[in-house]
Amino acid sequence: MHSHLENAFIKIENESNTLEEAVEKWSKIRDSLSLQELKERIIKAALIELFYGTTHIRVHADTCSKNLKSVKASILAKEELKEYVDLQIVAFPEQGIFNCSEEEFKEACKIADIIGGKPEADEDREKHMRLISDIAYKLNKRIDVHIDQHDDKSKDSEFILKIAKTKVALSHLTALHYYSEEEAKELISLIKEKNASVISSPLTAFYLNGGNSYPMYRGVTRIKYLINSGINVSLGHDDIQNPFYPAGNGDMLQVLWIAMNIEKEFSPKMIELITVNAEKEFGNKNTDYIIFDAENLEEVMFTLPSRREVIRNGKVVAKSSQETKVLDLNPFEIMRKLSNFHQL
Ligand SMILES: [Zn+2]
């Protein structure tokens, strides 16, 4: 539900493991990539996600790229990929609206599907949020904003929820981790009142937050707490092998895996974070299927097996096969017998 594909697999070291260094490094090379190169990168990264079974991707495209190259490349990629993957394009101001070009941001909002934002990137956060909510209202588009994404108790989400007149998705919301119980309840009641949703990207949140000395906190939003409060929560991969996150391969089951571990929650219901909740957030009916080499859902969630086939609109669009043997035995059969998977 939340991806940056234009810079996927651009391997640049992030020495401080911080969002600030990642943005700085990306912004230095951003304009050296041509529209064609950006489009190719987006298409290839989306196809890798498709290999792992993702057929719907919300793409945050950087509106600070020169001449809106990232946004235009994403729109071209969306058209070329439509038979295989549905993309939604978000106009995302990585380095702010007023630090870059306000006019270009407005132009990007017209051609994108969703209005993005990142209030912390501009000096006047409230002005930033007022502008995106005004644009969203005028264009009758929803908002998906990178917000409260640090190890602090920032409350920009409260502000945007109070002023927005169209539907809001709060991406990251890691600050909620640090709120008191009373503060958390206040925000959650506002999220519910506004019928807003939350999108967590635990891989990047885990990597970029928490500093580099012990105790090393891990700023991921309260996924289970939000679900139990009746909020629609879905997960995003966010970044793949770039300065924002050095690992990952586009597999949403890996993202779910880390979320289950962080939340100490291994119930089969957690699959909804990347299935029905994501479908609700995306806003269209999913009719695609994945065939796994697994006996049941628990086995899928606990062992992340290969995707035998990905079926899109009734057609096989991705497949994988391998012979699985240890000596003369099938390792998965051994595992199933040992763990009584078949009895669940
Ligand atoms: Zn993001």
- Give the chain's count of helices (H) and strands (E): 13, 10
Q: What is the Å distance from ligand 1's center to 139 Cα?
A: 23
Cα 253 to ligand 1 centre (Å):
18
Do residues 100 and 93 touch, judged by C-beta distance below 8 A?
Answer: yes
User: From ligand 1's centre to the CA of 143, what distance in Å?
Assistant: 14
State residue 308's pLDDT score.
Answer: 96
Ligand 1 center to residue 94 CA distance, Å? 9
Distance 340 CA to ligand 1 centre (A): 39
pLDDT tens for each residue of 260-293 = 999 999 999 999 999 999 999 999 888 899 999 9
Asked whether 150 and 122 are in contact (CB, 8 A), the reply is no
- Expressed in angstroms and rounded, the spacing between residue 83 Cα and the centre of ligand 1 is 25
* C-alpha 146 – ligand 1 centre gap (Å): 6
How many other C-beta atoms lie within 10 A of the C-beta of residue 81?
18
Closest of 27, 2, 4, 3 to residue 12, by C-alpha: 27
pLDDT at position 342 = 53
Decide: residue 338, CB within 10 A, 0-12 exposed, 13-18 middle, 19+ buried.
exposed
Task: Kindly give the parts of the chain with pLDDT less than 50.
Answer: 344
CA of 344 to the centre of ligand 1 (A): 37
Expressed in angstroms and rounded, the spacing between residue 103 Cα and the centre of ligand 1 is 22
Alpha-carbon distance of 293 to 332, in angstroms, equals 9
- Please give the distance, rounded to the nearest whole angstrom, from the Cα atom of residue 334 to the centre of ligand 1: 40
Q: Give the distance between the most distant pair of CA atoms in the chain.
A: 66
Domain spanning 19-286: which superfamily? Metal-dependent hydrolases (3.20.20.140)
* Residues β-bridged to residue 232: 197
Length, in residues, of the chain? 344
Domain range summary for the chain, segments of one domain joined by +: 19-286, 297-343
Which residue type sits at 60? H
pLDDT score for 144 = 98
Q: What is the pLDDT of residue 341?
A: 57
pTM: 0.95
Distance from Cα 60 to the centre of ligand 1, integer Å: 7
